[in-house]
């Protein structure tokens, strides 16, 4: 999963781009639900939130490091697609 660092400027550009609705506005900055973020695996070739973030504050979540197989499995679980 990816995560948003405290450099986030709350611009709201990323939230509508997420195919998994993993992004929401938190108390101080935007946040990514690691249980919903597939790093866009299953939907796009590249993480859409990272593509649009104007300050590049979205990075890998070190506490939720996953390989492609794990991200695919999460995608299948979230969508019911096999």
Chain residues binding ligand SF4 by CB under 6 A are 2, 4, 8-14, 17-18, 20, 22-23, 30, 32, 37-40, 47-49, 52-53, 55, 57-58
Please state the length of the chain.
Answer: 82
Query: Smallest distance from the beta carbon of 65 to ligand SF4, in angstroms?
Result: 14
Minimum CB–partner distance for residue 51 and ligand SF4 (Å): 8
Q: Which is nearer to ligand SF4, 33 or 82 (CB)?
A: 33
**Buried-state track 22-34, b at ≥16 Cβ within 10 A, e below 16:** bbeeeeeebebee
- Can you tell me the distance from the alpha carbon of 60 to that of 79, in angstroms, rounded to the nearest whole number? 22
């Amino acid at each position: 999963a990816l995560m948003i660092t405290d450099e986030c400027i709350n611009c709201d550009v990323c939230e509508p781009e997420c195919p998994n609705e993993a992004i929401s506005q938190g108390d101080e900055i935007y946040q990514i639900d690691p249980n919903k973020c597939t790093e866009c695996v299953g939907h796009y070739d590249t993480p859409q939130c990272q593509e649009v973030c104007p300050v590049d504050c979205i990075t890998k979540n070190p506490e939720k490091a996953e390989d492609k197989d794990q991200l695919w499995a999460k995608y299948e679980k979230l969508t019911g697609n096999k």
